[in-house]
Chains A and B, each alone.
Chain A
Amino acid sequence: ETGVTQSPTHLIKTRGQQVTLRCSSQSGHNTVSWYQQALGQGPQFIFQYYREEENGRGNFPPRFSGLQFPNYSSELNVNALELDDSALYLCASSSLAGVTGELFFGEGSRLTVL
């Protein structure tokens, strides 16, 4: 069974640039959620994708957008980067048909905005 994988693991961008983060969900999982974890804070829900459509969104501006592909992998795109976007971005997969409801997290992509 393949776990959740994310890329890149680390990246540095400058303010105003755009970034794309990628996530491959765990085998058999059809739902992907993205979280932003600032240093010393809990993960904050950005949005969730199910069947290639957004299926719930947290309190994040429209410059945070995403995609889900037919193989259930996903991308998170952030436009017009701001300094406060510096954080660990976590992807988590799950199955809506699952019994436990557990989210399986990837190791994250650490974004630094200068």
Chain B
Amino acid sequence: QAGLTQPPSVSKGLRQTATLTCTGNSNNVGNQGAAWLQQHQGHPPKLLSSRNNNRPSEISERFSASRSGNTASLTITGLQPEDEADYYCASWDSSLSAWVFGGGTKLTVL
């Protein structure tokens, strides 16, 4: 079952901006959007942004999601040490009638 493509790792400096990408196709990201999740080691995931790019009220404004064509992006501004985590995208695939996840991006804050 084909998943979404995410870079395995991204490294950025403290207070810099990181943009994480998630590439799918017209059956998923392109027409269904993508949700973004953050997971710290040893903890369950946390929703950062829903498929329609809405951010839950408890999530910092430093996190914003967008989409262009078949690629979804998560931008994190003013990087903080606590942003170091694994980030996953997820989308409904209309051809598979299934949700698909990306392999995850490990964000390191230098």
A and B found bound together: no
Query: Interface residues, chain B, CB within 8 Å of chain A?
Result: none
Query: Interface residues, chain A, CB within 8 Å of chain B?
Result: none
